[in-house]
Amino acid sequence: MYEYNKEFYMTPHNRAKKGEIAKVVLMPGDPLRAKWIAENFLENPKLINDVRGMLGYTGYYNNKEVTVMGHGMGMASIGIYSYELFAFYDVDVIIRVGSAGSYTKDINVGDLVLTKKAYSESTYAKYIGIEAKDSTLEGSDELNDVIRKTAIENNIKLTDVVVHSSDIFYGANRSVEQIASDTKSQVVEMESFSLFANAIKLNKKAATLLTCSDSLVTHESMSAEDRQTKFVNMINLALKVVEKIN
């Protein structure tokens, strides 16, 4: 395993050299999903990070350079990785490509959604000096517009949602109905709020595409294997967006 040495590594969490990470990065939570994306969608993917098992690859999609790298689970984890990419590797755009649980019967397992706004009880934004009006932050309007137009052009169904970025995976003391009402959200995940906070602080662009992997209403869910491999529409859409903006 690699040991951090500031003379050779940019950060304690990333062994990639300056210039090995593209200006546009796709970030799934699961590093094995990053590996799957690189091996199945990119040309000439090169492993550029494996510190702590957080796999990252840089390759090409239709001659456009792109990096795919995992971000782990939760706001603290994506907060570290996205901040380092923006601040130390000069990344301009991060598109999170992740999974979510549905709070409503209107969003079904397998549906693809775009995060127009992230609600969170987290203090992450507060402590990096970003104001979250009504406890919400938004991604890049410009980037979201490109994503919506690209979805229409490719006949990919995409629904705008408010996401609940929660710090809690187990043991919530409210019902699903109460949480959905309190947060005014349709789906839940654990990362978008801090990603958007970092992008705002560092004047970068960020967006979140999510595939609904579970329904907290009907209790349907995808298997772990499905989560890793059956998000094809989401990845195709994200890469077509990369092609446009890169």
**CATH architecture assignment, domain 24-243:** 3-Layer(aba) Sandwich (3.40)
pLDDT at residue 225 in the model: 75
pLDDT score for 4: 42
Which residue intervals of the chain are DSSP H helices? 31-41, 75-88, 124-127, 141-153, 176-183, 192-201, 224-229, 232-245
| Contact status, residue 232 vs residue 112, Cβ threshold 8 Å | no
Which of these is catalytic: 30, 145, 160, 214?
214
Q: What pLDDT is attached to residue 223?
A: 82
In total, the chain counts a number of residues equal to: 246
pTM: 0.93
Residues (pLDDT < 50) of the chain are 1-5
pLDDT at residue number 228: 62
Q: Among positive and negative, which fits the CA dihedral 30, 192, 106, 101?
A: positive
* Per-domain residue ranges of the chain: 24-243
Q: Is residue 134 annotated as a catalytic residue, yes or no? A: no
CA distances from 16 to 6, 10, 48, 108 (A): 12, 7, 5, 38
Sign, CA dihedral 115-117-121-123, equals positive
Which DSSP string do the residues of 152-176 spell out, in sequence order? HHTT---EEEEEEE-S-SS--SS-H
Distance set, CA 24 to CA 73, 135, 203, 241 (Å): 21, 27, 14, 10
pLDDT score at 8: 57
